[in-house]
Amino acid sequence: MYVNRGLDRERIATYSLVVGAYNYETKAFNETSRPRQRNVDAEGYLYDTSTVTVAITDINDNAPTFIRPLFTGGIAEGADLNTFIMKIRATDRDAGNFSAVQYRISSGNDGGFFKIDENTGFITTASNFKGKKGQRFTIKVSAYDNHGKAPTNEADGEATAQIFVLVDEQRVTLKAQVDPSLIEQNKEEFISMLNNITEAEVNIEAIFKVFAETTDGRQIANSEVLFHAVNVEDQNIMTSDEVLSTIEKHADKLETLYARWKIRAPISTTTEPPADDSGPGNAELALIILGSVVGLLLLLGLCFAIKTRCRVKKRDMYNSPRGRRKFGDVNRHGSWSQYDDIIGSIEGKGVASVKMSRPGSSYGSDPGMFGSEYALTKKRHSLEDRIWDEGDYYLSQDSKLDSYLDDNGESDHGAAASDISQASSAHSSGMTADGMVVTKV
């Protein structure tokens, strides 16, 4: 079998030929034989036929062609990274890998705001658009067949993609009384429906789940679809008013042809998209937990800092010169050294013997007649602070009941024995007749 002329697979990919074989030497039957089921031509000779299918193999003899020279899409100012914007599409008449188109951004993406999937032609965001509401970006896209590998053909011309940072008047919200999962599973069909009722090319930005209450009090999931529409003729973004007026012309289709979607009157979007009522996601929960932990740590740190500061102030007070040691407004000159000695003896024991003398009048020839030994006993707090405080210690008479000193440092001969151990509420220092420092408590 030979070819008489050139073949073009793009015109005819397969040929179906009928081939016959004839036996011109033998008749179909003779006078003594019974005729059998055979193919016999008009002259009585035997023949047979067979069908031969010829498939034309492909060569890479066609370049990709964009379905149109201009593509238009929109993006919200607050869109996240990797948000879908539009799809660039080119076709190639070849077969197999020779028809597999690879897409590349050739120019216009100086700021790196966009990226394109080389296999699908999906253009997505690669940066944020804060403060760029209302602006338009224009990029050029080229296409190559055979996955961009040799032998490859480049499209004759580049496609232009114009991308608008949408304003509120260009965004429309469509309400559908169906679960969002139904729309997601049939997204292409839903977009086709929107294209028909808007007479435009619709790009869905987001599908939100919202809840509505039925007459019997049940909560059911509905959908709110946020989209914008591109005028097919001039490739401009339509305003929400233009979209709504077009949908009104096809209101009857919403009740008949597209009744399964339960579409309700769309509204223009002048505020942020509705929040998802399904509850906080994993990211929100993680932030809440992290904030709680940080707050607790800060509170613990603050308590530790206050406690440490108090300890430092007590230590500084103890280590400071005697002239600067004070309790309240009373300067305890001359008494700290004696207190320090007492503290040294009371550590580990909790009790120390103190020689107390009455200040003021003459002591006569026997100073000891007015003197008595008292036991200084710790009431509370840790001894490690080594700081005297009002009310931390109390005195009890060790030997002479009639020499008990009251809070004013005077002798109280009439005090009962049971009152000897009462707490002291004041400290002061005085001098004996011979200049010795004595302490009253």
Per-residue pLDDT of 40-87, as tens digits, reads 877 778 888 899 999 999 999 999 999 999 999 999 999 999 999 999
Percent helix, strand, coil in the chain (nearest 5)?
25, 30, 45
Q: CA–CA separation, 217 vs 220, rounded Å?
A: 10
Q: CA–CA separation, 168 vs 173, rounded Å?
A: 11
Q: CA–CA separation, 142 vs 147, rounded Å?
A: 13
What is the pLDDT averaged over residues 304-318?
79
Comparing 326 with 291, the larger pLDDT belongs to: 291
Position 189 scores a pLDDT of 92
Position 37 scores a pLDDT of 64
Question: pTM of the predicted model, to two decimals?
Answer: 0.53
What b/e sequence results for 187-204 when a residue is b if at least 16 CB atoms lie within 10 Å of its CB, and e otherwise? eeebbebbeebbbbbbbb
How confident is residue 172, by pLDDT bands cut at 50, 70 and 90? very high
What b/e sequence results for 301-340 when a residue is b if at least 16 CB atoms lie within 10 Å of its CB, and e otherwise? eeeeeeeeeeeeeeeebeeeeeeebeeeeeebeebbeebe
Comparing 57 with 414, the larger pLDDT belongs to: 57
Mean pLDDT in the chain?
76
Q: Which string of DSSP letters, residue by residue, matches 247-313?
A: HHHTHHHHHTTTGGG-EEEEEE--SPPPPPTT---HHHHHHHHHHHHHHHHHHHHHHHHHHHHHHHH
Position 308 scores a pLDDT of 87
Alpha-carbon 437 to chain mean position: 72
How confident is residue 407, by pLDDT bands cut at 50, 70 and 90? very low
Show the beta-strand stretches assigned E in 56-190: 65-66, 70-75, 84-87, 90-91, 102-107, 114-116, 122-125, 136-144, 159-165, 172-176
Position 318 scores a pLDDT of 62
Position 387 scores a pLDDT of 46
Q: What is the pLDDT of residues 116-165, one digit of tens each?
A: 999 999 999 999 999 999 999 999 999 999 999 999 999 999 999 999 99
How confident is residue 335, by pLDDT bands cut at 50, 70 and 90? very low
Instruction: Please check the confidence at residue 367 and state whether its pLDDT lies above 90.
Output: no
Q: Which residues contact 355 (CB under 8 A, 6 or more apart)?
A: 371, 373, 438
Position 329 scores a pLDDT of 42
Separation of first and last alpha carbons in the chain:
133
What is the pLDDT averaged over residues 247-257?
86
Q: CA–CA separation, 78 vs 273, rounded Å?
A: 11
As given in the structure block, the two tokens for residue 397 are 């008479």
Asked if 429 and 332 count as a contact pair (C-beta separation under 8 A), the reply is yes
